[in-house]
Amino acid sequence: MTINFKELQDYLNKYGYPYNEMMEFDNFQVPEATAYEYLMHNISRYADVDAMTFFGRKIKYGELAEQIDMTANAMKGIGQSATDRVATLLPNIPEATYMQYGTSKIGAVPSNIDPRTSGKMLLNYIKTENIKNIVVVDVMYETAIRPIEHELKEQYGIDKIIVIPATNSLPSVLKKIVSLKEKMNHKQPISSDVLEIIYWDDMIASTRFEHATDVGFQPNREAVVEHSSGTSKGIPKSIPLTNENINSFVEKHIPTVFGDIPVGTKMLSILPYFASYGAINTSHLGLNFGLTLQQIPEFKFEDFGYIASKQKSEILIGTPTWFSLMLNDKRLKKESLKHVMMAISGGDSIDQKTQNAVNQFLREHGAHCQLTNGHGMSELAGSGCYQFPGHQSGVNAGIPFPYDKYIILDNDRHIVPMTENGVKGCTWIYSPSATCGRFEGHQFGETIDINGFRFLNSKDTMLIMPNNEITFIEREDRTFTRFDGHKIVPYDVESIFTNHDLVKQCMVLPYTDEIIKGRMPIAYIVPVRELSEEEMDTIVYDIANAMLSSDNTNNRDIPRKVCFLTEMPKNAMSKNDFRVLEDRELDGSEYTIDIIETNLASSNVKILVPQTRENSKVLVLK
């Protein structure tokens, strides 16, 4: 399918919006291929190149193609039908890649879901997405599947679960060591009296005589379902992306610096598959360019730089905080980063001071790049604009990718003309990689037709300059992003606080944590009456426990600071003025909820009473 951009560009030129200097042609050719066909065509040239590494094991592109075909055979063998969706609750392990393309071959659709998802929230996905099968990493079975076994079978007809050990693709020596340790610790295979448990290797072996045929390309057919970090209603929205969307995402990178990356370049694959930035922006893009994905299934955020150093990663994609945590990592003091040729920051904004510090760190350690930023959305399958060479002024988001168009509309949905000082406001985006904004008959993204092209409301306020450079200003709503890219929905957290008998009001806002060096949630509480210190201790303890067991929030939603107020600040309209609290500096009067986090789990939850108290005290949660 050919998209002619000339007419749209001529139309936008009337309003002063610039032409993209990297856009080589007026016409854009959308690949008419499934994700499977597109990948197989591109990687046929890379058979002897490493497609992935996993704890020392090297998987070449030739083997990748074989594993994908075996996965397609297996999914057909267990009854997965074309157009049916299969939930994949997997970290970054090779099997997550096999599933993404094996399902594509038979026309099925993977729905990539956070493996930390609670059973209750998973049931919401099962219902709204019409899930037919579930594939889950073994370490998450007890929390995600066990509590809902009966509902899965009796309400939704799901009677078998495919389980993948996190260690399944380890090198054989490491796999034997892990197996021995499990035997010594008397670890038993997962079993169930309700559901049939099928382990991955058993599924592959039992379906070896199946033959899955390629269903071929059909226009506007789903390739994958991704999920946002959260919405104002609390449940992450389901975002369908078609084959055209995700293949166009790769194609729009070809005229850029990405198109010149050498085959076999090592890319750190640390962003999760349940985010578009992991499944599409890293995996689909990297594999189709013949890069080597270094799969990292679990990590602590402060280990980001250390992992990149030990892996000799050449392309790093992470959040601003992950990069800032490198600055104080003593393990990196004498390490060389001369292997790093590209460092990309996304998922949150970054201040100039931090970016300068990271750039200095990269220079001092020999990296051949500086930190670059961008703007993206799950709805765009990942990035929409990026700091390309020549457009790296300060902390802006760069310029749009070729064939992506950013414009500002006013409240009446009219294009705001460009001025010599730029134009600022609510940004709407057209991209060939953008979702249609509808899922299962429901509209989840606001769109508007402009000259025959569908523009999507980003709900972001931005400044667009006459040279096409874009600066992110703020989100329209009160949701905000933690340092690691997780979106906090204040309403969900506030509801848990206000359910407590002694809490009158609660407001959840971001603050900059000095230890993590990034944004985290803080809860401001107005109690129903004056409280004793013991009563305040009890409130914080009770609410932290409630959030740890809640089905409506993630452990990453738990505020790291809690502060008691006598009343909320008000603005001139007598509404709670959250901006006053956002500008407030921490003074030691806050409780601290200390949690050890990795990207898969939270543990060792402790509550530290305010520093302003005479007697220190630590409350430990079980």
Which residues, including other chains, have CB under 8 Å from residue 140's CB and lie 6 or more apart?
89, 115, 116, 600
Phi, psi of 139 (to 5 degrees): -70, -10
Predicted confidence (pLDDT) at residue 71 exceeds the cutoff of 70:
yes
Report pLDDT for 574.
43
Question: What is the distance, to the nearest Å, from the Cα of residue 227 to the centroid of all Cα atoms in its chain?
Answer: 8
Question: Which of 184-193, 281-290, 344-353, 561-570 shows the lowest per-residue confidence on average (mean pLDDT)?
Answer: 344-353
Tokens standing for residue 491: 């309403």
CATH number (3.40.710.10, 1.20.120.420, 3.40.50.980, 3.40.50.9100) of 31-298 reads 3.40.50.980
Answer with the residue of higher pLDDT: 476 or 344. Answer: 344
Q: Which of 216-230, 277-291, 546-560 reaches the highest mean pLDDT?
A: 277-291
d(CA 108, CA 71): 12
pLDDT tens digits for range 560-578 = 999 999 988 875 434 577 7
* CATH topology identical between 2-28+380-475 and 31-298: no
* pLDDT above 70 for 175: yes
What homologous superfamily does CATH list for 480-620? ANL, C-terminal domain (3.30.300.30)
Where are the chain's structural domains?
Answer: 2-28+380-475, 31-298, 480-620
- pLDDT reading at 295 higher than 60: yes
Residue 144 has pLDDT above 90, yes or no: yes
Residue 428 predicted with pLDDT over 70: yes
Of 3.40.50.10710, 3.30.365.10, 2.60.40.10, 2.30.38.10, which CATH number belongs to 2-28+380-475?
2.30.38.10
Q: Which residue has the higher pLDDT, 148 or 476?
A: 148
Question: pLDDT for 49-61, tens place per residue?
Answer: 999 999 999 999 9
3-state secondary structure 493-547: HHHHHHCCCCEEEEEEEEEEECCCCEEEEEEEEEECCCCCHHHHHHHHHHHHHHH
Least confident of 53-67, 128-142, 229-243: 229-243
User: Picking from 36-45, 340-349, 574-583, which range would have the lowest pLDDT averaged per residue?
Assistant: 574-583
The alpha carbon of residue 277 and the mean position of all alpha carbons in its chain are separated, in whole angstroms, by 5
> How far, rounded to the nearest angstrom, does the alpha carbon of residue 81 sit from its chain's CA centroid?
28
What percent of the chain lies above the pLDDT cut of 90? 68
Read off the pLDDT band of 83 (50, 70, 90). confident
What is the pLDDT at residue 186?
A: 65
> 253-291 as b/e, with b when 16 or more CB fall inside 10 Å?
bebeebeebeeebbbbbbbbbbbbbbbbbbbbbbbbbbb
Phi, psi of 160 (to 5 degrees): -140, 150
Residue 415 DSSP label: B
Instruction: Please report, rounded to a whole number, the percentage of residues in the chain having pLDDT higher than 70.
Output: 97
DSSP secondary structure string, 14-65?
TTTPPPPTT---SEEE---S-HHHHHHHHHTT-TTSEEEEETTEEEEHHHHH
**How high is the pLDDT of residue 168?**
92
- pLDDT > 70? residue 233: no
Long-range contacts of 384-390 (CB under 8 A, 24+ apart): 384/429, 384/431, 385/470, 386/256, 386/344, 388/22, 388/256, 388/257, 389/257
- The pLDDT confidence band at residue 45, using thresholds 50, 70 and 90, is very high
Q: Average the pLDDT over 207-222 and give the result.
A: 94
Characterize the bridge pairing of strands 160-164 and 50-54: unpaired
Between 123 and 172, the higher pLDDT residue: 123
Least confident of 271-280, 346-355, 499-508, 585-594: 346-355
Report the distance separating Cα 133 and Cα 71, nearest Å. Answer: 14
CA dihedral 342, 348, 349, 351 (to 10 degrees): -80
Would you give the end-to-end CA distance of the chain in angstroms? 57
Mean pLDDT of the chain: 90
Tell me, letter by letter, the H, E, C secondary structure of 349-413: CCCHHHHHHHHHHHHHCCCCCCEECEEEEHHHCEEEEECCCCCCCCCCCCEECCCCEEEEECCCC
Give the pLDDT band of residue 312 (cuts 50, 70, 90).
very high
Place of tokens 């939270």: 602
| pLDDT, mean of residues 221-247 | 82
Residues in CB range of 412: below 8 A, 6 or more apart: none
Confidence at residue 577, expressed as pLDDT on a 0 to 100 scale? 77
